[in-house]
Amino acid sequence: DTEVTQTPKHLVMGMTNKKSLKCEQHMGHRAMYWYKQKAKKPPELMFVYSYEKLSINESVPSRFSPECPNSSLLNLHLHALQPEDSALYLCASSRNRVNQPQHFGDGTRLSIL
């Protein structure tokens, strides 16, 4: 088990559904990240939050909407997803200082029907 907790572990949704992924950490990290990982590929950065503010958006489609309600929690709201959005969605966190590694959660495996 990791110190970054993601829920749910698995999610199946239709293209018209709205759902949310949740990520929580209690390590006092002030930087949090969303990654998308397709099978047999490395993680691809989607969003970075630093001190609860969005600092990096890697040109992600608007059907993905991140939210950081507080320093421990990170959400990813999903709406009108496409089948190609099926992937493992990983959350990570790190201290907001130099030379601090990112620590990953176990991910949510998302399938779009």
Partner 1 sequence: EDKVVQSPLSLVVHEGDTVTLNCSYEVTNFRSLLWYKQEKKAPTFLFMLTSSGIEKKSGRLSSILDKKELFSILNITATQTGDSAVYLCAVEAVGWETSGSRLTFGEGTQLTVNP
Contacting residues toward partner 1, per CB under 8 A: 2, 4, 31-33, 41-45, 48-50, 55-56, 90, 94, 96-107
Minimum CB separation of residue 8 from partner 1 in Å reads 13
In the complex with partner 1, which residue's Cβ is closer, 15 or 54?
Answer: 54
**CB 82 to partner 1: min, Å:** 23
Pairwise CA distance, residues 49 & 74, whole Å: 9
CB nearer partner 1, residue 94 or residue 112: 94
Would you say the C-alpha torsion 59, 87, 22, 44 has a positive or negative sign?
negative
Residue placing its CB nearer to partner 1 in the complex, 58 or 82: 58
* Burial of 51: CB neighbours in 10 Å, binned 0-12, 13-18, 19+: exposed
